[in-house]
């Protein structure tokens, strides 16, 4: 088993927690987590990659073990989270890396790629949207309404997503055998989201999510012109980002590799070995 180190770095005055494993001179892969979790979601994947790759998995500000300033102390946007992630990677001296993105990690990863396209060696998206395709209307209608008109009429529907039942649903929906998903996952995430003031952090990011959509045409152009290799490995039963979101990458990425797996949003919890197998095969081919 490869050792995983648990570290922090100060970026723009904030402590950013990250997990690190593998040899420093190996090809780098950066793992970017989604809502409502943290690098904890990669705890079992990292050792499966670290024999061949230098793996970095940070916690976004406001998540996991990174600092979580209140909304009055920090303006939470996906632009701001990207700047902190970029600052961490710069501090670690990483100028060439593959990206593995999931959920919120996707818009952060897309910004990194657009800011420094020369740094991206490959992209792996696991239920991380980069197209209008795949947004499941039953989930996103409330988010779009809240972003367009924040207030007492639209907030309750999205605030409900902070509850333990909603977080548990994100983990078990679409999973053929929910007993494979440890309750530690949603209880861990719920405890962190429930910290004083963190609800307003999450609501700020819900409001900002609509600002990711204008980036998509720029991402598509990057995929077409860069020729960066893309792997989309997706829980086909995800009721947040549907499988159309995975298939869409084949429109712009040359020879995109797409796999739809019989799982849900947090595919690593139920199909770790499947995802790791596709990932190692893909990285072995495109990174050598």
Residues involved in catalysis: 265
Does residue 266 contact residue 185 with C-beta atoms inside 8 Å? yes
Handedness of CA 200, 205, 208, 209 (dihedral sign): negative
Helices 183-193 and 198-208 cross at an angle (nearest 10°) of 100
Does residue 95 contact residue 119 with C-beta atoms inside 8 Å? yes
Residue appearing with tokens 């402590």: 15
Torsion of CA 77, 171, 37, 25, to 10 degrees: -110
- Cα separation, 75 vs 198, whole angstroms: 13
Handedness of CA 136, 228, 213, 250 (dihedral sign): negative
The full 3-state SS of 58-88, as one line of letters, equals ECCCCCCCCCCCCCCCCCCCHHHHHHHHHHH
Write out the DSSP string of 21-52.
ES-TTSPEEEEE--TT--GGGGTTHHHHHTTT
Does residue 130 contact residue 107 with C-beta atoms inside 8 Å? no
Q: Give me 3's structure tokens.
A: 């050792």
């Amino acid at each position: 088993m490869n050792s995983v180190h648990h570290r922090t770095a100060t970026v723009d005055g904030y402590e950013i927690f990250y997990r690190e494993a593998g040899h420093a001179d190996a090809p780098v892969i950066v793992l970017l987590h989604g809502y409502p979790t943290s690098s904890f979601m990669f705890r079992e994947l990292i050792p499966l990659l670290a024999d061949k790759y230098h793996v970095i998995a940070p916690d976004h500000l406001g998540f996991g073990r990174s600092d979580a300033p209140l909304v009055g102390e920090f303006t939470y946007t996906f632009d701001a989270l990207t700047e902190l992630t970029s600052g961490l990677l710069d501090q670690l001296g990483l100028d060439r890396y593959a990206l593995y993105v999931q959920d919120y990690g996707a818009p952060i990863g897309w910004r990194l790629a657009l800011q420094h396209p020369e740094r991206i060696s490959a992209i792996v998206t696991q239920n991380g949207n980069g197209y209008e395709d795949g947004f499941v209307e039953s989930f996103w209608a409330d988010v779009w309404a809240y972003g367009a008109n924040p207030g007492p009429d639209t907030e309750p529907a999205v605030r409900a997503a902070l509850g333990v039942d909603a977080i548990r649903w994100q983990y078990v929906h679409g999973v053929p055998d929910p007993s494979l998903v440890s309750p530690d996952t949603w209880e861990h995430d719920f405890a962190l989201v429930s910290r004083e003031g963190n609800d307003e952090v999450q609501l700020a990011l819900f409001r900002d999510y609509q600002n990711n959509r204008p980036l998509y045409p720029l991402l598509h152009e990057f995929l077409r012109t860069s020729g960066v290799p893309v792997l989309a490995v997706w829980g086909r039963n995800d009721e947040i980002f549907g499988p159309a979101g995975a298939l869409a990458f084949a429109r712009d990425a040359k020879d995109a590799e797409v796999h739809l797996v019989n799982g849900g949003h947090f595919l690593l919890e139920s199909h770790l070995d499947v995802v790791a197998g596709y990932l190692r095969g893909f990285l072995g081919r495109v990174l050598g």
